[in-house]
Each structure stands twice: as C-alpha cells, then as structure tokens.
Amino acid sequence: MAKRLITQARGKGGPRYRAPSWRYFGEIKFAKQLQSEKLLRGEVMDLVNSVGHDAPLMVVKYENNETALLPAALGVKKGDQIFSGNGAPKLPGCIMALGEIPAGYPVYGVEHVPLNGPTFVRTSGSAATVVGKEGKQVILKMPSKRIVSFNPDCRAVVGIIAGGGRVEKPWVKGGKHNIARAARNKLHPITSGVAKNAVDHPFGGTHRRSLGIPTTTRRGTPPGRKVGLLWPKRTGKRR
C-alpha cells in the first residue's frame, strides 16, 4: 500500500507538521491604543532572539503599561524612545498611519486592515517604500518590487528591519541547516518526487530523473495527485 504523500500528511496535521510555537518568544503585535490616546511614548526594554523569527525582536513598554513585541528596526538599541500614534516622529521604530508617512520613507510591519496588527514585511533586512498617494489610497513598493495600495489608516513601523545579512552567511554543514529547520518543525532535506519510488509519489518510479509526464495539475485534482505545477494561470514559453 502506498504511503501518504507529504502534501496529504501536512493537510491531515499531526505533531510532525505542527509548528513548535511554545518555543517562540512571543507573538508580533502592536500595543492596544485607544482613540483618546493621540500619542504613546514607549521605551525599548530589551532586544531578544526568537527561534520562530528571522529578525531580532524588540520589547517595547509604553507609558500606559502596554507591551508590544515587534521586529527590531535597524539602528534601534536598548533604552531608545519609541512613539506610536498620530504625530509620532519619523524615526526608526516609531509607529504611525501610512497616510502620515511621506513618500520615500522605508516602512515595515504594514497592516492589511486598520487596527489588525502587522501583517506584511516582517522578515529580516526587508522594508517597503512609500511611493505616494493615489486618491484615497497609499501606494507602497514591496520588497518583491510589487506595487500595492493600502488604506491610509493602516499602521506601519518606520525604518528597515535589522538582521539584513542573514541570507549571505553560508550554512557550511547540512547539520546546521537541519537544526535550524527543525526549530520550526520543517522537513530537511526535501526529497524530490522523481527520486522516490512509485508507491511514494506520482512522479516516482524507474531510475531516471526525467519525468515523462506533464507536471501541471488541475485545481480539482484529488489530494493524492495534487503535486507539481498547481493550476497555473498560463504555461509555455513567453513569446
């Protein structure tokens, strides 16, 4: 009997594919801020490392006794003053609405919906750039060079996330890579489908590494066959 594919096992769930979130330092989020509180002043209490996050995190305690955990901005150190709200200075680590940030400023931790918490641009060394305003929307250039429009009431952190040279350091040994991925319960190494047996994967079988069948898959394909190029918008060479 064939084994369950990795894609099927991930969908089923289980301890092997469950993120060890109890080992993480905490959840990244903004401090709760009331409408009456126009501007909050906080202090960076500590810079910490979390196995579940690529960037170093800063623990900010505000004057209303609220505590926030955010990716550390480049240049921020322990004891710095961090402001949040309307009228905050445009310094690294300060939080304000996108409508108040001038064009050309780098931002990260951008909200998708106002007051919903940081969603976009959270990995180390990354930042989005405020391009300008178009109507009632604020235009951002994301790290992927994609242009996206946001509600001007969405909040963001000014600056660039620290830890930018992380991907430039080689792993050197496979064991280090394995340990790092195991901290987030990720499989390593990943075996390609053509290298498996026919009972383990639809692309497996024989000793060749050429597939011999199309890799495109329909959206309604059953889970045991849902591998390869998943329902692409287009295929073939661009002409």
- Could you give all domains of the chain from N- to C-terminal order, each with its CATH number? 21-166 (2.30.30.30)
C-alpha–C-alpha distance, residues 93 and 112, integer Å: 19
Residues pairing with 73 in the sheet:
161
Residue 26: the pLDDT is 93
Residue 211: the pLDDT is 86
- Count of beta carbons in the 10 Å neighbourhood of residue 161: 26
Q: pTM of the predicted model, to two decimals?
A: 0.82
**One-letter amino acid for residue 64 of the chain:** N
Mean pLDDT in consecutive groups of 10 residues from the start of the chain, 239 residues = 80 85 92 72 95 94 92 95 91 94 96 94 96 94 96 95 92 91 86 89 87 88 89 86
